[in-house]
Structure formats: C-alpha cells, structure tokens
A = this chain, B = another copy of it.
Amino acid sequence: MTQRIHGVLSPVVTPFKSDLSPDKERFIAHCKWLLSQDCGLAVFGTNSEANSLAAEERTMLLDALVAAGVDASRMMPGTGCCSLTETVKLTSQAVKHGCAGVLMLPPFYYKGVSEEGLYRHFSEVVQRVGDSRLKIYLYHIPPVAVVGITPGLVERLLKAYPQQIAGMKDSSGDWNNTKTFLDAFAKQGFDIFPGSESFLLAGLQNGGAGCISATANVNPAAIAKLCVEWKNADAAEQQKKLDITRDAFGKKYLMIGALKQGIAIYANDPAWAKVRPPLVELTAEQAKSLETELKAIGFTMPGINKGAAVAA
C-alpha cells in the first residue's frame, strides 16, 4: 500500500481577478507558499469557493498547478458536485494527475435523500473512475451542504471499496460526531481529518490523521507544528494559541472573506480580498478591525508572497 496523505491541509482560498475570473498566478503562488509551510493542498474546498466555480474552472486551475510543478502527491482536490457526471470527470482528472486523494462532497441539492441513494452515488463514482489509485475522502459539512455522511454510509462504502474509501473530513464542528467516527473507523485505516484545527490535538490523541482547516491558509506553519509535536509537553499551549488565531479570523467575520483580507494585508496585495458572489468581502471597517486584532495577537505570515512579486 502506498503512503497515505496525513497532516495539515489547507482548503486553499481561490483568488479572483477584478472580472471575477480565477487568478491562476496568485493561486499557484499561494499553493507554493503553503507547501513551503508543510501544509498540504485541499484545493477546491468550501473555503476555496469551489462551488462558486464552474467545473471547467476547477479543471483549468488543477492543470495549471500541476504544470507549475506543484506536487500532486500533496494535493486533495475537492471534486464532489451535485451531478454524478461532473464528480466523475473532476475525480478522474485528479487521479490522472497523481493526486493523493480527492475530497468528495455528497450531491447536495436534494435534501433528505436516503443512505441508499448516497451509497449508489459514491459507488457509481468509484466504478466509473475505475482506477486503483483512487482515494476518496468523504466530506461531511452539514452546516453548509445540509446533506451529510453517516456512520452507516461509511460502513457500507468501506465494505464495498476498502481501497478507494480512504477517509473523511468532518466539518460538523461537533467533537462528539468526530469522536464517533474516530472510534468506529480509525483503527481500520480510515483517515479522519477534523475540519478545524480546534480539534487537531484531540483528534490526534484519538487516532485522527491531521486536519483540513480554513485557517491553514494563513497560519499553516503553526498548525503543522502541533501536528508533529502533539505528544510534546506544550501541546495544549500550542493548541490554545492556534485557537486564538482562528478566533481572530472566524469569530466576528465570514471566514472566507476574513482569510482573503488577511492575505491581502500581509501580502500587501489588496487584490486578494475579492470574493465571488453570493459571498461579500469584508467592509473597510471590518478589514481595519481585523488588521488591528491580528496585530494585537502578534500574528504574522512569514515568507508570504508579496503582491508586487506575483504581479510582476
């Protein structure tokens, strides 16, 4: 069995140009910076505004990353769409590029769908992709997708496709839920990534595989550090510091807008603040208040690509 991807991954925020098209150059530069901070690339996640991108925009961006020499074995692109056909297409592309895995939302338009229906969907995807390299990480994010991943579904899928069903991301924000999955499946080699670094230490102590977290876009090195040093004496102290930084971004603002504003500030690159509708960027007042708060907690982004360098 090949080595599975573990550790900290960032749902990479997607920069947009003034015409709202994806900004390939800034995206590649940000991905390279994240890798330099020991952070893997869960491109096309919720925080990436991936569902505000057309399937072909995701395809273009993934091709561009690979063409730019970004290591596919450090990537777990989001490929779960509402339609089976698009999910299969994006997943196949990721597998062909040699990505470590794919992070797969359930089809999320129809609500209250049965476990049988979801099983059929994922089963069809595995069979249609038809590649032994495929590693699926199921994406549970009920506050957004509403449609979720249940233990019963994981059990059925693991039984049918033990090689392809590699793990999950749990963005329920509910530690009890994460713990339930860890207790039930971690020992079988099913890799569980909490969807926030708030649960990084607790997750690792209970057999978790790392975390895939929004804030890893701006604070990757510190999160990756705890992921390595979680047995150290100061682990709880490290966790506490991570939580303070996370709160600075996510407690008062829409997380996606705040992350982009944070990059805009620390990269001295206002273009980064742009989001696609239906999201709205931080107001000038919020941006100012975020900056003040980040400075107050001594937040830094060492080595972040400066706007001018990217634009040049």
Contact = CB atoms under 8 A, between A and B. Distances in A.
Interface of A: 20, 46, 51-55, 57, 81-86, 89, 106-111, 113-114, 116-118, 120-121, 124, 143-147, 276-280
A11 to B, nearest CB: 14
Contacts of A117: 277-280
A89 to B, nearest CB: 7
Nearest to A87: B54
A278 B144 contact: no
Contact of A108 (B53, B109, B113): B109
- Of all A-B residue pairs in the complex, the 9 with the closest CB atoms, nearest first, are A51-B109, A121-B277, A117-B278, A120-B277, A113-B278, A54-B85, A51-B82, A54-B86, A117-B280
Given A20-B84, A82-B51, A144 B277 contact: no
Q: How many copies altogether?
A: 2
Contact of A52 (B46, B84, B144): B84
A111 B121 CA distance: 23
A83 B143 contact: no
A82 B49 CA distance: 10
A84 to B, nearest CB: 6
Contacts of A55: 54-55, 86
A279 B89 contact: no
B277 A84 contact: yes
Contacts of A86: 54-55
A54 B89 contact: yes
A257 to B, nearest CB: 10
A240 to B, nearest CB: 29
A264 B275 CA distance: 46
